[in-house]
Amino acid sequence: MSRTHLTRHQGWFMAGALLLALAAGGAGTALGQQAPGTPARPPQRQHLLTPEDRAAIAQIYWHRMQERLRLTDQQVSDIRGILQARRDAARADIQTLFAARRELRNLLQQPNSDPAAIQSAAGQVKQLQDKMLDQRLQTQLAIRSKLTPDQLAQWGELHKGTGRGAWRRGGGFGWRRS
């Protein structure tokens, strides 16, 4: 067997996670070539997946999660509602965080920036990150409250090795070192 091994279960999870990441992020922009002498227009963002594609991918993902965790229809509905509410609430915070990071980066790139202004901008970034961490924690606690102990243990097994830094540890998306 090769150095990395991917089980069937992990392969489906990896494919689902990749498709959800593409669907959630909306992929890329299309940059067309302009004719000489025409004024430059900002490129328009075009999504790789249509809303129908995203809905179909989500349906497949939730059907598989329901099977693997033996979730009831009510649990699926509750968890999806929690996640949708979290996404809706996070949109403005994410935009504010991006703007704060941009401001901090701009201040750091300017040689004559006031150190107090840099500290203030960094404090704002930290405050927003802390707020978002607290919201993620509340979301996780709300989801946990909808799962039985067995379902929670299975959830942990399904997500083992897919977190931040998993690639460096050799466990990202189910890939394992031999």
The number of folded domains in the chain is: 2
- Is residue 29 in some structural domain? no
State the pTM of this model.
0.59
The C-alpha atoms of residue 101 and residue 119 are separated, in whole angstroms, by 12
The answer on 142 and 96 residing in a single domain is yes
The answer on 133 and 101 residing in a single domain is yes
- Is residue 99 in some structural domain? yes
CATH, residue 130: 1.20.120.1490
Q: What are the DSSP E strand ranges found in the chain?
A: 4-5, 176-177
Which residue from 61, 84, 75, 57 is spatially nearest to 147, judged by alpha carbons?
Answer: 75
- Is residue 113 in some structural domain? yes
- Is residue 1 in some structural domain? no
Q: What is the full per-residue pLDDT of the chain (178 aa) written as tens digits?
A: 444 444 555 555 556 655 555 555 544 443 444 455 556 666 667 778 888 998 899 899 889 989 989 999 999 999 999 999 999 989 989 999 999 999 999 999 999 999 999 999 999 999 999 999 999 999 999 999 999 999 998 888 887 767 655 555 555 544 444 4
The answer on 130 and 101 residing in a single domain is yes
What residues make up the domain containing 115? Answer: 90-146
| Tens digits of residue pLDDT in 150-169 | 999 888 888 776 765 555 55
Q: Output b/e per residue, 84-119; b: 16+ Cβ within 10 A.
A: eebeeebeeeeeebeebbebbeebeeeeeeeeeeee
- Is residue 109 in some structural domain? yes
User: What is the 3-state secondary structure of 117-168?
Assistant: HHHHHHHHHHHHHHHHHHHHHHHHHHHHCCCCHHHHHHHHHHHCCCCCCHHH
| Tens digits of residue pLDDT in 87-98 | 998 998 999 999
The answer on 56 and 15 residing in a single domain is yes
